[in-house]
Chains A and B, each alone.
Chain A
Amino acid sequence: MLTEKGLWTRLLTRLIFTGPTLFAFATVMIIPFLYGIYLTFTNWDGIAIDQNFVGWDNYIGVFKDTVFWKSFGMTLEYVFITVVLTNAVAFLLAYAVTRGMKAQGWFRAGFFLPNLVGGIVLGFIWQFIFNQVLVFAGQKMNLTLFSTSWLADPDKAFWALIVVTVWQYAGYMMVIYIAGLMNVPKDVMEAASIDGASNRKMLARIVLPLMVPSFIVCIFLSLQRGFMVYDLNVSLTSGGPFKSTEMVSMHVYEQAFLARDYGLGQAEAFVLFILVAAITLLQVYFSKKLEVEA
């Protein structure tokens, strides 16, 4: 039975334990998210005190904004390539540094290093490498591939972005794959090797199937990070040359804060949210199906 005093202490406990988190969560994520949906139906310019209701105009605007779709398509391509490459490199690295070799700890620490540094700083470091170091080396050694800066060529700038992304995230995903590899039961491996399975067969028939959960996590993370790429984009190429590497996240930022079209920018951000949510949920759904019962 609830006495009034009991009710108050119950409420107080709830307030103390969940109050701060839920209040911050609601006011920072939920309310802005819902208000954001409302904003997509208005035409705020960032200065005016009130905004007008414009109905579906912004969404029609999204469909007409060819630059948005171009950068969205490019982002898809970028995400696809980086997800595949990052995870392939990460898995190979993880496999290599869990085989009981000398100095494994050092290798792990080295491969993880780029993840300690923010995308802005990494982008600037690589800007220097692409603009100065590689050009210098290319001219010295007569390598036409490097003799002009990658960042000045629209196609190569895109690949520069990919190279840096893979270099940045491979170490992070490697750590997750290491955890997965260490969770593969030793007795199963031993049994297989007694039965005469070769290393390659063991990898294909035992290790990889048991690692599906790690792949789900890593692909999920690299998908999310790929779609949201912003820091690196800004500092490495700043979307150039000629907007050729402006990823969708940067485009949304420019549309809202620089072109001062907040309604359209928000509508594009919302379309982005729907598409990303759909893709990640599909990925998780289909990869869960692959999971073996342990």
Chain B
Amino acid sequence: MAGQSRILNWMKFIALIIVMILFVFPFVLLIVNSFKANQAITSDPLGLPSSFQFDNYVNAFDKMGYVSAFSNSLLITIAGVLLIALFAAMTAHYFVRHKSKLNQYLFFLMVAAMIIPFQAIMIPLVKIYGSLSLLDNKWSLIYMYIGFGSPLAVFIYHGFIKSIPLELEEAALMDGCGRVQTFFRIVLPVLLPTTVTISVLNVLWIWNDFLLPSLVLTSSEQRTLPLSTFYFYGTYTVDYGPLMAGLVLTLLPVLIVYLFAQKYIIQGVMQGAIK
């Protein structure tokens, strides 16, 4: 019996490895092909590179405007994530600690708005912000992320703040801290685990978002990484080598971060779903 279940366990293990290969193989294939010459890719996409073509990378790096796209993406993501977390934490805190009908309605409105799909908003959004000449600007995009991201963040913070004992804040207020000071010194540090969760969800969303940036950012200098990948791919459809290298370049920052923050990312997604 024991031997049989051991074999069964091994079979399960091997089955899992096969599934794992299915999940990871596309990325491996991409990286391998990114080092091959164009001809080698089309004649044998499964073969290993005979000589490493770093030209592909040089080419893609240049043509994608990688430096500019990467720094745009970085700025937008960092600013968006930090501002959503800060403002949402303050709002959620206020809602929990100042119970009034008005605050209840406002909170309910934010939660209800989460069901509105982006497609129902994108056309008027472009029209309104276009007529105010606020398009093609990174800061407008960051501002929009705050608007779209705050409902979920307020919702998650709201759930967490309810469980924090009030005494902690009362003591600080008693000792002469103002409301704002109490929030920054006492409440915000306590919210750190929730902030990590919200930041993980928002980084995954904002860093990879395509439709909203494609509507807001029109000039090539403003492009984010997903946008520049899209335009790069669209204009070089025959040249597979640089295309593969371009996709790897887009993946690279994400893979590096994942390597170091894997635990937090998976935990963040887990926590975000429970609340």
Cβ proximity bits A92-134 to B, threshold 8 Å, 1 near / 0 not = 0100110001100011111111111111110011101100110
Instruction: Answer whether A17 and B93 are a contact pair too, CB < 8 Å, given A118-B226, A120-B229.
Output: yes
Contacting residues, chain A, for B16 (C-beta < 8 A):
96-97, 101, 107
* A101 lies within 8 A of B13 (CB): yes
Knowing A25-B147, A107-B16, A115-B204, the reply to whether A120 touches B230 (Cβ < 8 A) is: yes
Partner of A32, one of B90, B125, B269, B273: B125
A18 adjacent to chain B (CB < 8 Å): yes
- Tell whether, in the assembled complex, residue A21 and residue B154 are in contact, meaning their CB atoms are under 8 Å apart: yes
Report whether A120 and B23 are in contact in the complex, using a CB–CB cutoff of 8 Å. no
Is A219 part of the binding interface, using a Cβ–Cβ cutoff of 8 Å? no
Instruction: Give the complex CA separation of A183 and B269 in angstroms.
Output: 15
Determine whether A76 belongs to the interface, using a CB cutoff of 8 Å to chain B: no
Please measure, in the bound complex, the distance between the C-alpha atom of A227 and the C-alpha atom of B128, giving whole angstroms: 25
Chain B's interface size range is 35 or more
Question: Is the CB–CB distance between A228 and B180 below 8 Å?
Answer: no
Query: Quick one: given A217-B273, A230-B211, are A129 and B29 in contact (CB under 8 Å)?
Result: yes
Note all chain A residues with C-beta closer than 8 A to B128: 31-32, 35
What's the Cα separation between A273 and B96 when bound, in Å? 30
A136 CA to B46 CA, complexed, in Å? 8
How close is B32's CB to chain A, nearest CB, in angstroms?
11
Stretch at the interface among B52-60, B61-69, B243-251: B243-251
Whether A27 sits at the interface, judged by CB under 8 Å, is yes
Q: Does B179 contact A (CB under 8 A)?
A: yes
The 8 A CB mask of B92-129 against A (1 = contact, 0 = none) is: 01110010000000100110010111111111110110
- Which B residues lie within 8 Å of A262 (CB)? 123, 127
What mask results when residues 51 to 64 of chain A are scored 1 for a CB within 8 Å of chain B, else 0?
00000000000000
Contact pick for B148, options A29, A125, A176, CB 8 Å: A29
Q: Which residues of A contact B93 (CB under 8 A)?
A: 17
In the complex, which residues of chain B have a beta carbon less than 8 angstroms from the beta carbon of A115? 204, 269
Q: A121-B250, A129-B29 are in contact. Are A112 and B180 (CB under 8 A)?
A: no
Residues of B whose CB lies within 8 Å of any CB of A are: 9, 12-13, 16, 19-20, 22-24, 26-27, 29-30, 33, 41-42, 44-46, 83, 87-88, 90-91, 93-95, 98, 106, 109-110, 113, 115-125, 127-128, 143-144, 146-148, 150-151, 154, 179-180, 183, 204, 207-211, 215, 226, 229-230, 233, 240, 243-244, 247, 250-251, 254-255, 258, 262, 265-266, 269-271, 273-274
**Can you name 10 A-B pairs with beta carbons within 8 Å?**
A14-B98, A17-B90, A21-B87, A32-B124, A112-B266, A116-B255, A120-B226, A132-B42, A234-B210, A269-B119
